[in-house]
Amino acid sequence: MIELRHLTKVFGDGPRAVTVLDRLDLTVPAGSITAVVGPSGAGKSTLAQCVTLLTRPTSGAVVVGGQDLTRLGDDRLREARRRIGTIFQTDGLQTRRTAAENVELPLRYLGVVRGERRRRVAELLDRVGLGDLAHRYPHELSGGQRQRVGIARALALRPSVLLSDEATSGLDPAATASIVGLLRELRDDLGLSILFITHEMDTIVEVADSVARLEAGRIAESGPLLDVLRDPASDLGRALLPRRGADAARGSRAWAVHYRAADVPANWLTAAARELGCDLDLLGASVSTVDGATVGHATLGVPAGVEGHRLVAVLASAGLHAEPLPTRDAVPRAELDLVP
């Protein structure tokens, strides 16, 4: 488990002081993935550095496995850092070492005997699906494969916590999907707490159990992913599943429909039209499946003669929340720009 308690980081002194992290609170339970997203300048990079204490916070606590790392001296901190594996945006592999030799480095520095190093490296490369590429050099590997070597190296010292700092940035969609799938496997198999820092909104929906929005150094919004996606008032939920649609036809009004329940029937549009006795036009939709549950939004064109309260009631019975969109802008842009 990772707990960040009132984490604060201030750079500079006096009138030139800049607060980058401001009494930030965040918990990543064991065996779960929490994604942190935010625009450039929100404090994501500083957060990653403070979690590993590569940058010491000005105040607050970084608690890993019940131990407050901010209270440790240098020797004990070096030992405690072994419980945190880190995956960086750039793989950071040494170009003149093979995949196996790169994974071996933390074990070599720790003084693990040669035979045990070899066994551990072989085990790790097999786990990330690269057992047959152990003797390849970084330039002989694809971007996704190099990142997998970086993950294997991060796992070398058997950490309880994994910090992923923009680890999928710059990868193609197929490589991103493979890394996301691997992180989910590691969460399940090893019970890791994974802090996934990213600006890639699509990736969050695929990987996270919980999500938090970082804004001006503070957590502006957070919660379990499904709860955020089902909350029609959530800025973060709208950004994760942006609304798509078209203007309603003349004589109709555009309505935003939001999935709220876990069991919204697949035929809800047909059933609602039948009950209301009118045609409902599907102008656009953004619907996904997350951990077996359907989440998303839709935009409907509803005849002007349909009473709003009746439409709301009919859709609510199907587990949907409905509200009219502004008439001059039937499909408003997302209110939140989280991608730099």
Q: How many other C-beta atoms lie within 10 A of the C-beta of residue 142?
A: 12
Residue 244 pLDDT class (50, 70, 90 cuts): low
Residue 272 lies in a domain: yes
Residue 329 lies in a domain: no
- Average pLDDT along the chain: 89
Say what the pLDDT of residue 336 is: 40
Per-residue pLDDT reduced to its tens digit, 116-132: 999 999 999 999 999 99
Residues 223 and 245 in one domain: no
In sequence order, what are the residues at sequence separation of 6 or more whose Cβ sits closer than 8 angstroms to the Cβ of residue 292? none
Residues 151 and 112 in one domain: yes
> How far is Cα 2 from Cα 65, in angstroms, rounded to an integer?
7
Within 13 Å and on the Cβ side, how many CA atoms surround 285?
14
Per-residue pLDDT reduced to its tens digit, 249-258: 778 889 999 9
Residues 301 and 154 in one domain: no
pTM of the model: 0.81
> How far is Cα 91 from Cα 145, in angstroms, rounded to an integer?
10
Residues 178 and 245 in one domain: no
Say what the pLDDT of residue 328 is: 47
Residues 61 and 156 in one domain: yes
Instruction: Please report, for residues 92, 94, 97, 135, 198, the alpha-carbon distance to residue 139 in angstroms, rounded to integers and kept in the order given.
Output: 12, 10, 10, 12, 25
Say what the pLDDT of residue 182 is: 94
> How far is Cα 21 from Cα 4, in angstroms, rounded to an integer?
11
Range of the domain at 253: 241-324
pLDDT for 246 beyond 70: no
Residues 256 and 137 in one domain: no
pLDDT for 195 beyond 80: yes
Domain harbouring 301, CATH code = 3.30.70.260
Looking at 198, 230, 262, the residue that finishes a domain is: 230
Looking at 177, 201, 230, the residue that finishes a domain is: 230
Residues 316 and 176 in one domain: no
> How far is Cα 72 from Cα 213, in angstroms, rounded to an integer?
29
Residue 153 lies in a domain: yes
User: Which range (27-36, 64-73, 85-94) has the least confidence?
Assistant: 85-94
pLDDT for 243 beyond 80: no
Residues 282 and 212 in one domain: no
Residue 251 lies in a domain: yes
Say what the pLDDT of residue 171 is: 87
Residue 330 lies in a domain: no
What phi, psi does 92 have (nearest 5°)? 65, 20
How confident is the model over 152-158, as a mean pLDDT? 95
Residue 89 pLDDT class (50, 70, 90 cuts): confident
pLDDT for 277 beyond 60: yes
- Determine what percent of the chain is predicted with pLDDT higher than 70: 94
Q: What is the DSSP letter of 210?
A: E
User: Which range (33-37, 155-159, 273-277, 323-327) has the least confidence?
Assistant: 323-327
Q: Measured at the alpha carbon of residue 12, what is the angle toward residues 6 and 14, in degrees to the nearest 5?
A: 95
Residue 236 lies in a domain: no
Structurally, how many domains does the chain consist of?
Answer: 2
Whether 194 and 33 have beta carbons less than 8 Å apart is answered as yes
Residues 158 and 285 in one domain: no
Residue 88 pLDDT class (50, 70, 90 cuts): confident
Residue 337 pLDDT class (50, 70, 90 cuts): very low
Say what the pLDDT of residue 335 is: 38
SS3 214: strand
pLDDT for 290 beyond 70: yes
Q: Measured at the alpha carbon of residue 230, what is the angle toward residues 3 and 281, in degrees to the nearest 5?
A: 155
User: Which range (36-40, 151-155, 249-253) has the least confidence?
Assistant: 249-253
Say what the pLDDT of residue 169 is: 85
> How far is Cα 302 from Cα 41, in angstroms, rounded to an integer?
41
> How far is Cα 187 from Cα 170, in angstroms, rounded to an integer?
23
Where is pLDDT greater, at 217 or 241? Answer: 217
Residues 117 and 85 in one domain: yes
In sequence order, what are the residues at sequence separation of 6 or more whose Cβ sits closer than 8 angstroms to the Cβ of residue 263? 319
Q: Which helix (H) or strand (E) holds 44?
A: helix 44-51
With the CA atoms of 165, 171, 177 and 182 taken in that order, what torsion angle do they form, in degrees rounded to the nearest 10?
-50
Residues 216 and 174 in one domain: yes
Per-residue pLDDT reduced to its tens digit, 297-312: 899 999 989 999 999 9
Residue 276 lies in a domain: yes
Residues 301 and 212 in one domain: no
Residue 254 lies in a domain: yes
Where is pLDDT greater, at 32 or 65? Answer: 32
Domain harbouring 216, CATH code = 3.40.50.300
Say what the pLDDT of residue 318 is: 95
